[in-house]
Amino acid sequence: MLWKAVRAKKLHLPRILVRLQSSSTAEFQELHPLLLKRAEKYAEELKALEKWMAKGEGTFDVERQKKFSRLCAVVDSFHRYSREIELLKDLQDMMKDDPSLRDEAQQEMAEIRPQLEKTSSSLLGQLLPPHPFADRPCILEIRPGVGGIEAMIFAQDLLGMYINYAHNKRWKYHIISQSANESGSGIVDAILSIDEPGSYDKLRFEAGVHRVQRIPATETKGRTHTSTAAVVVLPQMAEDNEKEAESYERTFKPDEIRIDVMRARGKGGQHVNTTDSAVRLTHYPSGIVINMQNERSQHKNKAKAFAILRARLAEIEQKAKEEKARAARKGQVSTTDRSDKVRTYNFPQNRITDHRCGFNLHDMEGIMAGERLDDVIDAMQIYDSDTRAKELLVEVQGTA
Amino acid sequence: MVRIKPSVLKKACQINPLLPLLLPECRTIEAAQQELRWIQNEVSDKKRVRQCCMLRARHYPLQYLLGSQPFGPLDVTCQPGVLIPRWETEEWTVSLAEKLPRDMAFDIMDLCTGTGCIPLLLKQMCPKCSVFAVDRSPLAYKLATRNSNTLQVPLKIIKKDILERSSEIVPRTVDLITCNPPYIPRTTFARETARSVKLFEPKLALLGNKEFYANLVDCWMSRTDAFVYEVGDLSQCYYVLNRVTGDVDLSRKWRIGFRHDSCGRPRIVYGFRASGSRLNWASILVKFGDMKH
Ligand SMILES: C[S@@+](CC[C@H](N)C(=O)[O-])C[C@H]1O[C@@H](n2cnc3c(N)ncnc32)[C@H](O)[C@@H]1O
């Protein structure tokens, strides 16, 4: 390696040169010392845990296992980050010390730079407190917005995209409910359950209004239309099975919820044998109403309705907490309005733009096949970590 | 029956040529699409799907085609010749099962058991109980036995006529009797019963009126501490209530309540001994319905 060989040499440069050199290579934004202090604390915590494990006295339960692997991951990233930063600094020093090596050093810096940026953002992501529902599976609700049938078709395309995404990752998923547009193309709504733990953390950035620009198949004059579909992402709080639903149902007071079933005319009972399994669940305190009819079993429809109610209430509660925290540091960080469009899919230009992080991707086929969705999600994750890091620093500095 | 508009038929046909076949039973395109999905989910062969739809156009019951009906957490096998379990029955049975004490051993007897759906669910939820099931129909007896075996929920199944031969049925006494007797009176059968039911479900399971409620008061109340009987209308509830309040002894010993289904129709008449029973039925059945006596 270059830097080791030349390290011993020390030459003195005129001051002005030093300044110029360093400014041309100092664009890299190091992580804030307060954040690094956190990392050091994790490293200490890991040491202590390792010591405890080595003694082999207590029980290494699931919780501890989880904690152990999380700490290992953070500390590994931290070490990698420290190594790479040190390397960068050495190269910088080297340039100061020996102008004759400047070109070589700069070349090597350019090489390690992308890696360092990656390490840095993943460490940042790990240092931030995880989202409270990060390890949950998730539920996606997709509905057409403006744009009539074209919006319904786009909603179906999005549903397909998420199914493909789960499929590529070999994640289990199932459609909780889906209603097709009566005229045959597109969907009126769909609820997709992605059963993989942790899928919520990946897909939560999908929430919001998605916009499509393309020439609909039905358009005769070749005009580009703009339509939208809305995606809601909920943390799955329990499986949508009957047992969970029953115990969850019992946590409500009788006057908080109401369950309605389809009202057939006539006398019911032995007089008719139609499958009336549709269920409507109303939760009065929140005003949430959930219709569920996909299953032949009323019992299952009810269980699914309760699973969705549970997810929605958890999300509402979480959003309220976030709002409260945000209000406490009002105006210090930018926030995105949930009703804003989050992403545009421009078919004529083969371009996907995420409006929150400004990320562009030119591969419509890849994204709709679910193969390139991770590109956008990764960009959003970095953007989200940065935003949250800013919030965290404001908070930490505020209390210090 | 209201005719389906030609415009709706045309629209359905455009979406899927099988849908018009399902419209007579399903009425709306949405419901027909739903049903087609169910059929396709459970029947893999395309030709068979088509056959099923054609039979549905003739009002053949979906449950006989698919061979099952969900009943609470159970999937109960259905066969022609035996009544298809209804959602109203499922509803009260689930609600009753949730109220019964789980950790106690007691005896339950289900009369007119059909597929065995009611006792299967009760036994599943209260595994410590001994559960008996009675039906006079050989087909019902066979199907209930089959369901008990495939679902691995043990029942003691008895083939006997409960009106004519109640005295031969053992055990002599139980803690709870449940029953969904045939309750459609002959006089209203033609008018008030859906075509699919009239054409394809067994009359033995449907036609009946006060005789089964009279039989309850005359033969079974003395042999149990509590009963839950499904009804088709309020007059059957009142028949039981009036028989009890009209008898000094019964009136003193028994409490009677009615319960509606979630469509608001009278669906259950139930009763329990006010005292002297093995289980405390007054507290088990609290809020099961409205007490009338
Ligand atoms: C309305 S069905 C109820 C079936 C089942 N319990 C359910 O809820 O789906 C009535 C049943 O009672 C049976 N049944 C009719 N008359 C009977 C009698 N006199 N003794 C015993 N069973 C009888 C019929 O065979 C039929 O299975």
* Residue A276 in domain: yes
* Residue A12 in domain: yes
* Residue A331 in domain: no
Say if B226 is an interface residue toward chain A (CB within 8 Å): no
Contacts of A334 (CB under 8 A, 6+ apart): A387
- The token pair at B178 is 């449940």
pLDDT value for A120? 86
* Residue A328 in domain: no
* Residue B1 in domain: no
Query: Which residue spans within A284-390 are E strands per DSSP?
Result: 288-292, 341-346, 351-354, 359-361
Q: pLDDT tens digit string along B245-287?
A: 999 999 999 999 999 998 889 999 999 999 999 999 999 999 9
Q: Which of B292, B173, B167 is nearest to B240 (CA)?
A: B292
Does the C-beta of B114 come closer than 6 Å to ligand 1?
yes
Q: pLDDT tens digit string along B127-173?
A: 999 999 999 999 999 999 999 999 999 999 999 999 999 999 989 99
pTM for this prediction: 0.75
pLDDT value for A399? 57
Does the C-beta of B180 come closer than 6 Å to ligand 1?
yes
Residue A291: phi, psi to the nearest 5?
-105, 135
- Determine the distance separating the centroid of ligand 1 and the alpha carbon of B271, expressed in angstroms: 20
- What value does the mean pLDDT take over residues B40-58? 93
Residues B49, B178 share a domain = no
Q: How many residues does chain B have?
A: 293
pLDDT value for B249? 96
Residues A203, A95 share a domain = no
Q: pLDDT exceeding 90 applies to what percent of chain B? A: 90
pLDDT value for A336? 45
- CA angle (B175 as vertex; A268, B257 as ends), nearest 5: 45
Q: DSSP for A178-211, please give it.
A: EEE-TTSSSEEEEEEEE-STTHHHHHGGG-EEEE
Mark yes or no for CB contact B182/A270 under 8 Å.
yes
Does the C-beta of A270 come closer than 6 Å to ligand 1?
yes
* Residue B153 in domain: yes
Residues A355, A229 share a domain = yes
* Residue B151 in domain: yes
* Residue B267 in domain: yes
Q: Could you tell which of B82, B83, B163 is best to mutate to test the pocket of ligand 1, judged by most ligand atoms within 8 Å of the CB?
A: B83
Pick the atom of ligand 1 nearest to B110's CA.
Answer: 6
Contacts B33 to A, Cβ<8 Å: 180
Residues B43, B117 share a domain = no
Say if B184 is an interface residue toward chain A (CB within 8 Å): yes
- What value does the mean pLDDT take over residues B226-236? 97
- Which residue of chain B comes nearest to A186, CA vs CA? B15
Q: How crowded is residue A126: how many other Cβ atoms within 10 Å of its Cβ?
A: 20
Residue whose CA is closest, atom 9 of ligand 1? B85
Does the C-beta of B85 come closer than 6 Å to ligand 1?
yes
Q: pLDDT tens digit string along A56-74?
A: 777 778 888 888 888 999 9
Closest Cβ–Cβ partner in B15, B86, B98 for A270: B86
Residues A316, A343 share a domain = yes
Instruction: Kindly report the nearest CA distance between residue A139 and chain B, in angstroms.
Output: 22
CA distances from A93 to A21, A80, A235, A238, A279 (A): 10, 20, 49, 55, 70
- Determine the distance separating the centroid of ligand 1 and the alpha carbon of B182, expressed in angstroms: 6
Residues B173, B51 share a domain = no
Instruction: Kindly report the nearest CA distance between residue A35 and chain B, in angstroms.
Output: 51
* Residue A332 in domain: no
Instruction: Kindly report the nearest CA distance between residue B263 and chain A, in angstroms.
Output: 6
Angle of the A33-55 helix axis to the A62-97 helix axis, nearest 10: 130
Residues A289, A226 share a domain = yes
Say if B64 is an interface residue toward chain A (CB within 8 Å): no
- The token pair at A100 is 């004759």
Residues B51, B72 share a domain = no
Q: Which of A331, A387, A399, A327 is nearest to A357 (CA)?
A: A387
**Under DSSP, is residue B112 helix (H, G, I), strand (E, B) or coil?**
coil
- Determine the distance separating the centroid of ligand 1 and the alpha carbon of B232, expressed in angstroms: 14
Instruction: Kindly report the nearest CA distance between residue A60 and chain B, in angstroms.
Output: 35
Residues B113, B48 share a domain = no
Closest Cβ–Cβ partner in A268, A293, A300 for B88: A268
Residues B113, B28 share a domain = no
pLDDT value for A25? 42
The question of ipTM being above 0.90 is answered as: yes
Give the number of C-alpha atoms closer than 13 A to the C-alpha of residue B227, restricted to the C-beta side.
27
Q: Which of B147, B156, B206 is nearest to B181 (CA)?
A: B206
pLDDT value for A193? 95
Separation of alpha carbons A389 and A395, rounded Å: 10
* Residue A82 in domain: yes
pLDDT value for A263? 67
* Mean pLDDT of successive 10-residue stretches along chain A, which has 400 residues: 32 33 52 86 91 82 85 92 90 83 84 86 84 91 93 96 97 92 86 95 94 88 92 87 80 88 81 90 94 90 91 90 71 48 95 95 96 94 85 67
Pick the atom of ligand 1 nearest to B179's CA.
Answer: 6
| CATH code of the domain covering residue B126 | 3.40.50.150
Residues A382, A269 share a domain = yes
Contact B159, B138 (CB under 8 A): yes
Instruction: Kindly report the nearest CA distance between residue A150 and chain B, in angstroms.
Output: 17
Closest Cβ–Cβ partner in B15, B63, B193 for A271: B193
pLDDT value for A248? 86
Residues B282, B139 share a domain = yes
Residue B240, domain extent: 68-291
- Determine the distance separating the centroid of ligand 1 and the alpha carbon of B205, expressed in angstroms: 5
Judge residue A396's burial from the number of C-beta atoms within 10 Å of its C-beta, 0-12 exposed, 13-18 middle, 19 or more buried.
Answer: middle
- What value does the mean pLDDT take over residues B99-118? 96
Domains contained in chain B, number: 2
Domains contained in chain A, number: 2
**Residue scoring higher pLDDT (B186 or A327):** B186
Residue A206, domain extent: 138-323+337-399
| CATH code of the domain covering residue A270 | 3.30.70.1660
Does the C-beta of B63 come closer than 6 Å to ligand 1?
no
Tell me the pairing of strands B107-111 and B174-179.
Answer: parallel
Q: How many residues does chain A have?
A: 400
Which amino acid makes up residue B167? S
Q: What is the mean pLDDT of chain B?
A: 95
Separation of alpha carbons B270 and A268, rounded Å: 19
Residues A159, A35 share a domain = no
